[in-house]
A and B are shown apart, each in its own frame.
Chain A
């Protein structure tokens, strides 16, 4: 291949890749499907990436056109195209290799449908039932009440160590509700609060929507209703859920979405004490388009 042809292929393939990524991200951002890949707080950064990509696509196209016209762009400092050397075979091969490598995610992202991952991935990740860390509370030292002017008896119920005061506040808020609704907001935080103060919540009514999931160690009359939590991107999602006790558990198929209403109780699971739900009623539910929940580091300030 002549040097000029190599230059055209090299610059052209780069222009295609950069433009491709710009388009892929733009389409995902505009359709909202980007939330199937990254968490909402990264969307701003994704737009930043689009700006960079569009600028790069423009510049790279200019380099490509210059290559086609045969005029070298001098100060691009493209240390790669060996100014005075005839291009050797391997640099062509290298260009092709890089092009193919970058084309794989582009093609996969464009051709395959965007889909949400639920139970199928939970199997690999291990369900998180909110069991308390081992060793916690053994010291039992320095339990404190939360500040504020709530009922002293209620404060007594939600006594905890200083680090869990935020959960105590959330717990007191939940305690006052007739039905504890496990919605998208604060799913993980509420699960933590319920497990921390499981004794106080015993017998309370709870309603939760999520996917059905099973793993080893559950009895025949049990299944798990869970949600997937994402911190940054799909690579770090992990499932959070509750064990549900139901006499006709077998009728709920894995990966289907249901809404369960029931009462809170406690159970032993793999040697850990966790909250469970004794089923009252259940109905099929449709999965949310973006089925993920997100940890909220700052929930306490919004209470």
Chain B
């Protein structure tokens, strides 16, 4: 996986992770212990948890592998700084180029996040990378098409989703360009550059080796995220949540929270949003469909494998503020 020389920090974070998993298990056991040992296996809630948990992992698996292989190939075959030469120098052009990248490579976040560290190492500016992470899962033809079909009678929702995602990512990119000076990557990957991949034969082995390393590196966050999503889907009722906030202000925040918790793929969340169409405003639905794919439980865990916690926190807070404000504007100006 990664480098032990990265001081002593990992030690603590893994102990914390272990403690969290243990706590989760104690919680499961506690809940299930009400029902005798025989009933545990038959308990429908265990079935729901298991099915959601395994389902998310199975669904993510191909895209994760695409991402880690892309990353490994980039690392081994693409010369450093090549991407720097391809991305326009002008930050605004660079950010716009990064937003359009999603149209060319329609990848979801499970594929983008593993590749992004390599892209940054290969010279992609951090502001362009941040833009790509945020907008890549939304601004692509598949997502537009699925949103458009789910809200057939209201095409403004599909346009609003695309537009807001683009603007939010653009602003975040500019803020990162202006204010983030230090390297936001976690340090541990840097020593990779010491290696010399000279022989063709070894290069293939190197691709395999890197891909497997990264699979475990990213995979553990996905497994952990899927576990939490499974628990939430089992024990938290979507309808109860939805009935919490119907007023315009709280509704938008609530739907953002729901998007965060559910961690759905951006191509499938439009149909879930559709089931809320009778009780929520267009702005709240767009909040769900813009915030969810950008910032969600599974994704944030994956991002924190690549970026320093401070940088992830910055991204999350920026997106929270911008999406919330943006959907308000949408509600009052465009979707009246």
Stretch at the interface among A42-50, A260-268, A282-290: A42-50
Contact indicator B152/A163 (Cβ below 8 Å): yes
CA distance A250 to B157 in the complex (A): 41
Pairwise interchain contact B51-A117, C-beta atoms closer than 8 A? yes
Residues in B with CB closer than 8 Å to A112 are 41, 46-47, 50
A203 at interface by CB-CB < 8 Å: no
A124's partner among B149, B210, B237 (CB-CB below 8 A) is B237
For B48, the chain A residues whose CB sits under 8 A away are: 117, 120-121, 124
The CA-CA distance from A231 to B19 in the complex, in Å, is 34
Q: Closest CB of chain B to A87's CB: distance in Å?
A: 8
> Given A18-B212, A104-B227, are A77 and B153 neighbors across the interface (CB < 8 Å)?
no
- Chain A, residues 101-137, CB within 8 Å of chain B (1/0): the string is 1101100110010110100110111101001111010
Nearest-CB distance from B152 to chain A (Å)? 5
Binds A, one of B87-95, B201-209, B312-320: B201-209
The B271-312 residues at the A interface (CB cut-off 8 A) are: 271-272, 274-275, 277-278
Question: Does the CB pair B219–A82 fall under 8 Å?
Answer: no
Question: A153 near B: Cβ within 8 Å?
Answer: no
A76 within 8 A of B: yes
Interface residue B269 (Cβ < 8 Å from any Cβ of A) = yes
Interface residues of B in 127-169 (CB under 8 A from A): 145-146, 149-155
Q: Are B69 and A236 in contact (CB under 8 A)?
A: no
Contacts A80-B1, A97-B14, A233-B55: A102 and B65 contacting too (C-beta < 8 A)? no
Chain B proximity of A226: nearest CB distance (Å): 12
Whether B65 and A133, one on each chain, are in contact in the complex, defined by CB atoms closer than 8 angstroms, is no
CB <8 Å contact, B50 and A53: no
**Do the beta carbons of A85 and B263 come within 8 Å of each other?**
no
Residues in chain A near residue B155, CB distance under 8 A: 163
Contact B268–A232 (Cβ < 8 Å): yes
* A14/B216 in contact, CB under 8 A: yes
Q: Which of A33-41, A143-151, A206-214 contacts B (4 or more CB under 8 A)?
A: A33-41
Smallest Cβ-Cβ distance to A42: which chain B residue: B59
Chain A residues lying within 8 Å of B62, measured Cβ to Cβ, are 42, 45-46, 48-49, 52
How many Å lie between the Cα of A93 and that of B14 in the bound state? 9
The A-contacting residues of B in range 75-116, CB under 8 angstroms, are: none
Smallest distance from the beta carbon of A169 to chain B beta carbons, Å? 13
Does A248 belong to the interface (CB within 8 Å)? no
In the complex, what residue of chain B is closest to A90 when comparing beta carbons?
A: B11
Q: Shortest CB–CB separation between residue A34 and chain B, in angstroms?
A: 7
Contact B272 A236 (CB under 8 A): yes
B262 at the interface (CB under 8 A from A): yes
Instruction: Known A52-B69, A101-B223, A232-B59; judge A78-B213 contact (CB<8 A).
Output: yes
Q: Does residue B265 face the partner (Cβ distance < 8 Å to A)?
A: yes
Interface size counted on chain A using CB atoms at 8 A: 78
- How many angstroms between the C-alpha atoms of A299 and B285 in the bound complex? 24
Of B3, B61, B202, B263, which is within 8 A of A80 by CB? B3
Check if A126 sits within 8 Å of B275, measured CB to CB. Answer: yes
Enumerate chain A residues within 8 angstroms of B45, measured Cβ to Cβ. Answer: 120
Q: Is the CB of A79 within 8 A of B146?
A: no
A136 to B152, CA, bound (A): 11
Check A133/B50 contact, CB under 8 A, given A52-B65, A79-B192, A102-B219: no
Q: Is A28 an interface residue (CB 8 A)?
A: yes
A218 at the interface (CB under 8 A from B): no
Tell which of A28, A78, A90, A131 touches B10, judged by Cβ atoms closer than 8 Å: A90
Q: Does B182 contact A (CB under 8 A)?
A: no
A238 close to chain B: CB less than 8 A: yes
User: Is A184's CB within 8 Å of the partner chain B?
Assistant: no
CB-based nearest B residue for A11: B212
Do the beta carbons of B58 and A233 come within 8 Å of each other?
yes
- Report B13-59 residues with CB < 8 Å from chain A CB: 14-15, 17-18, 21, 41, 44-48, 50-59
Could you tell me the distance in whole angstroms from the C-beta of A272 to the nearest C-beta in chain B?
6
- Report yes or no: A75 in contact with B206, Cβ–Cβ below 8 A: yes
Residues of B within 8 A of A232 (CB): 59, 264-265, 267-268
Could you tell me if A235 and B264 are in contact, using CB atoms closer than 8 angstroms?
yes
Q: Which B residue sits closest to A115, measured CB to CB?
A: B47
* B237 engages A123 (CB within 8 Å): yes
Indicate if the CB atoms of A102 and B223 lie closer than 8 Å: yes
How many angstroms between the C-alpha atoms of A14 and B208 in the bound complex? 13
CA gap between A14 and B209 in the complex, in Å = 12
Which positions 42-100 of chain A face chain B at CB distance < 8 Å?
42, 45-46, 48-49, 52-53, 55-56, 59-60, 63, 73-80, 82, 85, 88, 90-91, 93-94, 97-98, 100
Contact B21 A101 (CB under 8 A): yes
Q: Is the CB of B263 within 8 A of A235?
A: yes
**A91 partner residues in chain B, CB cutoff 8 A:** 4
Cβ contact within 8 Å between A46 and B61 = yes
How close is B115's CB to chain A, nearest CB, in angstroms? 15
List B contacts of A131 (CB < 8 A).
278
Bound Cα distance A272, B57 (Å): 37
Contact of B4 among A82, A105, A166 (CB under 8 A): A82
Please list 13 pairs of residues, one from A and one from B, whose beta carbons are closer than 8 Å in the complex, sorted by A's number. A48-B66, A56-B208, A56-B212, A59-B208, A60-B212, A75-B205, A76-B205, A90-B15, A98-B220, A112-B46, A115-B51, A117-B51, A163-B153
A-B pairs with lowest CB-CB distance, top 6? A76-B209, A231-B268, A234-B55, A126-B239, A75-B202, A52-B65
A interface residue numbers (CB < 8 A to B):
14, 17-18, 21, 25, 28, 34, 36-38, 42, 45-46, 48-49, 52-53, 55-56, 59-60, 63, 73-80, 82, 85, 88, 90-91, 93-94, 97-98, 100-102, 104-105, 108-109, 112, 114-115, 117, 120-121, 123-126, 128, 131-134, 136, 161, 163-164, 166-167, 229, 231-236, 238, 272, 295, 297
